[in-house]
Amino acid sequence: MRIAVLGAGSLGTIAGAYIAAGGKDVELIDVYQAHVDVLNQEGARIIGTTDFQSKVKAITPDNMSGTYDLVLLLTKQLYNDSVLQNLLPFLTDQSVVLSLQNGIPEEKVASIVGRERVIAGSVEFGATFIEPGVSKLTTTYDHFKKYAFQIGELNGEITERIQQIKSILDLVGGTHISDNLVGTKWSKLLINNAFSGLSAALNTEFGGVLDHEVSVISAAHIADETIKVGHANGVTFAKMNSFDISSLEIKNENEIPLRIQTLRKFMESSRLLKASMLQDLEKKRKTEIDYINGVVPQLAKGKGIPTPYNDMVVKLVKQAEETQSIPNFATNIKCFEELNK
C-alpha cells in the first residue's frame, strides 16, 4: 500500500514518522520547502512527551507522482478546493482519502474526490510545530498510544478497508473505529465553536472564556446553537469521554446556570489551551473560522434556527483578519454583552 500524508505539519509529521518507522511506503507532502529538506536530510524528530526519530521521505506537492492507495488529509480546509483538485490525478478508483481535518469537511471532500473514496477521521492528540523537521507531541504519551485517532465510514459500516486503515494508524497510536464518526466530529465542532471560536474572537485562552461571566454564557449559547442546527440536519451527537454533549442544549432560559456549571467542569482541564485560530491571527494568517463557527449559520439556512452567537464570533474574527489585528478582549466582550441582554 502506497500512503501519502498530505499536509505534514505538526500532526502529519508525527503520523508520517511512526508509519514510516513501521515499514510502510509513505510520503510526507508539504508546501514548506525547508521542512521537506530537513525531513529528507535528518528525518522526522518528535519531542515533547516522547523522544522519537525516524527516517522519512518528504516531497512538495509539485513532486507528487504515481498513485496513492491511502491519503491522510491534514491540510487546512481553507485550501481544499485547490489541494483536492491537485490530488485527483494521483487517485485510483480504489483510493481512500481519510479526512483528518478540523470541523466537518467530509461532504466538501466527497464532492471533489467522490463519496465512495472518503472515510472520516478525528485526531485525538495534540501537537505543535517547533521548527523544520521537528514536531512536539503535547498529549501524554500513554494517552497518545491508547487514543490517537477515531475513524469511520460515512455510513457507519465496519468494512474490510477500514479495518486495514486501522492497522496502519495503530502504528502511530490507538485507533478506534466508530459507527457514528459524523456525530463525533460534530461533538468536536461544538467544543471548537464554543471555545476555539471565542478564544480567537476575544484573544484569550480557554480559561479566560470559562472565567468571565459574559463569555461563558456566550459559550453555552454557541453550544446550544450548534446542537439545534446539528439535530435539524439529522446529526446524532456522539458522547465525549462518556459525556452526552447534546445535553448542553438549552430548552429554557432557567437552564443556563446549569449549562455553565457543566461547561466549566467539562472544560477545566483545557483552560490553558489557546485556539489555533488565535495563533493564526497573531501570525497575520487567514483562519478556518468559516469552517468552524461559520458552519452553523450556513447549515441553519432554511431551518428557522437563529445563530446570533456563532454569527458574532465569525464577524469579529473576520474583522481581525481583514485589519490584520489582534482582537481586544475588553472591546469585543461588549458585543456579547449586547447579545446577552
Q: What DSSP letter does each residue of 21-52 carry, written as one string?
A: HTT-EEEEE-S-HHHHHHHHHH-EEEEES--E
Task: Name, in order, each residue with C-beta under 8 angstroms of 304's C-beta and a sequence gap of 6 or more.
Answer: none
Does pLDDT of 241 surpass 80?
Answer: no
Q: How far apart are CA 312 and CA 309, in angstroms?
A: 5
Does pLDDT of 273 surpass 90?
Answer: no
| Best CA proximity match to 59, nearest among 74, 80, 81, 40 | 40
Quote the mean pLDDT of the chain.
95
Question: Residue 119 to residues 41, 70, 207, 221, 239: CA-CA distances in angstroms?
Answer: 32, 10, 34, 31, 20
| pLDDT tens-digit readout, 114-167 | 999 999 999 988 888 899 999 999 888 998 999 999 999 999 999 999 999 999
Rounded (5°) CA angle 245-246-251: 135
Question: How many other β-carbons are positioned within 10 Å of the β-carbon of residue 159?
Answer: 13
Task: Name, in order, each residue with C-beta under 8 angstroms of 280's C-beta and a sequence gap of 6 or more.
Answer: 200, 286, 287, 288
pTM (two decimals) = 0.85
pLDDT given at position 71: 98
Contact 292, 197 (CB under 8 A): yes
Average pLDDT score over residue span 239-263: 93
Question: How many other β-carbons are positioned within 10 Å of the β-carbon of residue 160?
Answer: 7
| Best CA proximity match to 318, nearest among 280, 295, 289 | 289
